[in-house]
Chains A and B, each alone.
Chain A
Amino acid sequence: MKDGRRRGSPALALGAGLLLPGLGHALTGARARGRIVSAAAVAVAVVAVWYALEPGVPASARAWLALAAAPFWIAQALDAAACARGAEPGPWRLGLLAAVPIYAVGLRATEPNVGEFAARWTYVRPLFAGLASPDLIAPVLTTGSAQARVHTPCGPDEPRSAAPLPSAPAAPVIVADPPCVALGGRVTVRGSGFPPDAAVRVLWISSVGGESAAGAARTDPGGVFEATVTAPPDSVPQRIRERSPNVPQNQAVRALVELPTGRWGPSQTLSTVLSFLGVTVALSFLATLLAALFALPLAFLGARNLMGGRWWTRGVYRLVRGGMNVVRAVEPLIMAIVFVVWVDLGPFAGLCALVVHGVAALGKLFSETIEGIDPGPVEAIRAAGATWLQVARHGVLPQIVPPAVGYVVYRMDINLRLGTVIGLVGGGGIGMLLSQWIRKPDLLPQAGTALFVIALLIVPLDFVSGAVRERIADGRPLGPRWTRPVIYFAVAAMAVWSWRTAEVDLAKFWPVPDRVATIVRQLARPELVERGADETVASADLIVPCPAGFDETTGREAVPIGAGTLALDRGCANTGDGVGVVLSGLPPGAAVRLRWLFADGSGRLDAVGPTSAGQGSGDVGTVIEVRQIVEDRAAAAPGRPTQIEATVTVPAGPLRLSQPLRITLSKIVLTILMALMATTFGALLAIPLAFLAARNIMGTTVVGRAVYGAARLFLSTVRAIEPALLVQVFATWVGLGKPFPGVLALIGVTLANLGKLFSEALEDIDAGPVEALRGAGANRLQVLRYAVVPQVVPSWLAFGFYHWDINVRLSTIVGLVGGGGIGYHLSQWMNTTQWRKASVALLGIILVVTAMDTISARLRERLAQGVSRRPA
């Protein structure tokens, strides 16, 4: 390549290149370069076509896009000509030109709204204030309270004066005098047994449980007080006041004393957060334990070296490993949504999702560990005539225990993080609390406190889990011998506590509720194609309610609908009656929808779910019930008949891509672009942070150490906040369901992860060149540029690709909790139980995640080869 030999006609290369990007290279012998150019051109074309097809894109934007893509088109043709002449220009310029149109579209598609970002700062500031100064402790109060009933108004034979107040009671007590009063009347509240010389708040408790301040007083040195309050006129709902003004309503007064004890304790916020966080800990612990238990036997079936032999064992191996890969590609949050439908909202649903995902993830790691063991002992045991199970137990198990325990600890770490977000979709734990708090402006400081506590739990745990795994990997014991039984006991105790806290209820699993069976059936039939539809509508009269003396059998005439007929089995009906509806002579494949149509023009009301005609007869018969609401609404237009309207939909016309498939395709491109933008900007921000967080760069001065420590702490704190939580924060900040908050959250994740990886790459560099350049008199910047950066570029690029892959995966779940992209549509379809559409989105996600996985692995392999290139 380097010898400058002419390889083909430059003119031919130029012409062919202008015709089709990459063709010029291919025709003049630069095949490898041609393939890369073609791939870049395909990427540009996909993005351009996608953008042109997006709704609401102005024509001028399309023109600009074409203009942005033109330089790349021309440059690659010129590049082909140069290659044909025998030169080999650097690839950077071409790559940059290809990136211009892609990034132009990416920037527009993620709809960045910097104005919103700045303008809404005042709204989210309490959240960050709560994060910066969390509400953790509060003064401990001693409280004394007592309650007394007040009837409004008085009943006929009620006493008009209160019982006497007991003197020196054991607990605070109050009486209301009189014990019954008309609304607006005055009541004297007398109390005794309260703390001396304390402020008393008197509250009115309304008949529906609402509290309102009614008065205040001070206790005397004997703990006695008296206050007069007014029965609030609006304490009884208006309807009851009007309809039954003389029926006594149960209301009450409460007296409350709160005194600081001088001690401090956990605040209300912290107690709430801790109780929810306990659930998170319990369900992630239990999920890890159960996943490990289930994954272990599966791992043996998924290990290639144990499952060689016969065709059927290889089949089992493929099945197990394939299954694990598919399950792993489905994010735990998506699984949690399914389990919420299956076993209801709560920690148990989250537990199920974490267990299923954990089995697949741990199973794969365990299998790979088994495949990597020393085959010697296995061979020896097999030679001694051992069965498969004996080989597994004595030849394999002892070898895999230490790494497997390491993986379980690692999984515990992951599950704890997931446990903080599984509640966002109804899976229980701290996420559930946080998703409620963060939606209410007045609870934002509390949400900030919750985030703080989460980081406080995860950051140290990260270090502990890392240290434990390192010890296991080095083969060192975790502690002295006696710690072993202690650890076993602690794990068992934690398991029992977790089982109770996670509200495990196996009865909810079986029998499988009908709705789950329905969902599975619908998920199995993704709505990939659709036909245009012919709709015919007809309606039949029904008089509701039946007028006196009306013969319900009169007026039953069949109404034509398309080629068929619609008939009711009665002419009038009352609430509770069933009306038989018969449609006959429908074309095959027809779907029928029945609705009530009211004469008062108040719109339609679904009668029963959609029904489709059988393949053979073309007849549909069903009975619909007349509910109270139907009679109520029919009564609004007396004298005119209510109607039952039937809509018959018959598929017609050619097949085309279904609407969910079109949305999925479009949003997948958006998702990839979102991930690309987030990776790029996250990586750019990570670079300066990485230098600050690299020990060898920051040196040993006090300032250097301090900056290093601060940068490290910042990175681990951001990494402790799960992406889904970051989305919640940014969605609160700049708006729900748009790509922008999702991209912002992903930028946060990327910058934290890449900051750490980049800085580790910096710490791993060969110090020799740095020394050499310093010795030659180079300054700091020059040393970075010539000795440091060249050493880290390949690993940084590899990490960047790797994180793009992660970001594509993450951007699907980021959408689930309000971040835009395909995940947003998936969650919308799941929440509205349109499972056939959700199935399309799920398929799309699995495909794109798997594809990105493969591509990024290939790219990283290439880069790694480039790094270790040695002379032959």
Chain B
Amino acid sequence: MLDIRHLSKVYPDGTKGLDDVTFSVAPGEFVVIIGLSGSGKSTLLRCINRLIEPSSGQVVLDGVDVTAAKPGALRAIRRDIGMIFQQFNLVKRSSVLTNVLTGRLGSVATLPSVLGIWSAADRATALANLELVGIAAKADSRADALSGGQQQRVGIARALMQNPKLILADEPVASLDPATSHTVLDYLRTLNTERGVTVLCSLHFLSLAREYGTRIIALKDGRLMFDGLPRDIDEARFKAIYGEDAVEVEIR
């Protein structure tokens, strides 16, 4: 469903964020992207929905060329791609419910949404999604009154509002403690297995990648280093990705 073809990104200061990356993702996959900080994981995810403009190459989603889309078409494409962020990216002073509702912005008319008017159906969906991630009771709280794990669940509920075909998750658990990390990733896995949402998720720790990923892609200095099954990453590959001095740690 997702084809990445020769994707490159050169930043204005000359650094290569991505260097000729090519791979395809089939529907229903849970692809984990690993790599060191600065290896291009965030750049790759953001090039897919063009929060960052790629310098060259193509992103094709369900036969539609994302990289060539005009602004209006791009918004329509983005509507189908949910995104989850390391820093949650919630509006801290707005209520949890409002934050979740903003996931619908790509699909509702501008004027009523700017005036703060939401349909009853949207509200009901938002509450249902909050129910799904287990924090419906916090709907009226301000976002900054929630713990980190709860905030990330709001982030997931917000992405669910888009009813996405694809979820891009950029280090969704890097700011969370190990126990909470598992809760959040379990929600993503549930979406993946039960709703058939394709997930592209970058992670820091290989142990988490092995546990949740159906497939692993490794980046180093913007280049694709590895593309295969979790069990295929042996000691040699690990050192190639993370460097000679790295030691694999287990996250439980």
Contact = CB atoms under 8 A, between A and B. Distances in A.
Interface residues of A, number: 27
A775 B91 contact: no
Interface stretch (A108-116, A319-327, A524-532, A779-787): A779-787
Contact of B51 (A771, A782, A786, A869): A771
B61 to A, nearest CB: 13
A869 B144 contact: yes
A867 B94 CA distance: 11
A66 B106 CA distance: 47
A791 B93 contact: yes
Given A775-B83, A777-B105, A768 B76 contact: no
Nearest to B88: A768
A794 interface: yes
Interface in B97-113: 98, 102-107, 110, 113
B147 to A, nearest CB: 8
A75 B124 CA distance: 31
Contacts of B155: 772
A776 interface: yes
B102 A786 contact: yes
Given A774-B78, A778-B105, A871 B91 contact: no
Interface residues of B, number: 42
A262 interface: no
Nearest to B147: A871
B190 interface: no
Contact of B87 (A768, A778, A791): A768
B67 interface: no
A773 interface: yes
A867 B144 CA distance: 10
Nearest to A787: B91
Most buried by B among A777, A782, A785, A786: A777
A90 to B, nearest CB: 12
Given A776-B78, A777-B79, A779-B75, A786 B89 contact: no
Given A768-B87, A768-B88, A778 B102 contact: yes
Interface string A847-872: 00000000000000000000101110
A775 B51 contact: yes
A2 B139 CA distance: 13
B93 A776 contact: no
A866 to B, nearest CB: 9
Contacts of A771: 51, 85, 89
B103 A776 contact: yes
A773 B85 CA distance: 11
A139 interface: no
B152 to A, nearest CB: 12
A775 B49 contact: yes
A333 to B, nearest CB: 41
B129 interface: no
B143 to A, nearest CB: 9
A772 B144 CA distance: 16
A777 B78 contact: yes
B81 interface: yes
B195 interface: no
A420 B77 CA distance: 58
B89 A782 contact: no
Contact of A782 (B88, B93, B113): B113
A870 B155 CA distance: 19
A790 interface: yes
Query: Considering residues A2, A775, A781, which has the most beta carbons from chain B within 10 angstroms of its beta carbon?
Result: A775
Contact of A774 (B51, B92, B94): B51
Nearest to A868: B144
B132 interface: no
Contacts of B83: 772, 775-776
A776 B90 CA distance: 13
A779 B110 contact: yes
A766 interface: yes
A777 B91 contact: no
A769, A779, A790, A869 — which one has the most chain B CB atoms within 10 A of its CB? Answer: A769
Contacts of A794: 93
A777 B162 contact: yes
By Cβ-Cβ distance, the 5 closest A-B pairs, closest first, are A777-B106, A768-B89, A778-B105, A777-B78, A772-B89
29 contacts: A768-B87, A769-B89, A771-B89, A772-B85, A772-B90, A775-B49, A775-B81, A776-B103, A776-B106, A776-B158, A776-B161, A777-B77, A777-B79, A777-B105, A777-B106, A778-B75, A778-B102, A782-B110, A785-B114, A786-B94, A786-B105, A786-B113, A790-B93, A791-B92, A791-B93, A867-B93, A869-B144, A869-B145, A871-B146
Given A778-B102, A787-B91, 12 more contacts: A771-B85, A771-B89, A772-B83, A772-B155, A772-B158, A776-B103, A776-B104, A776-B162, A777-B106, A777-B162, A782-B114, A871-B146
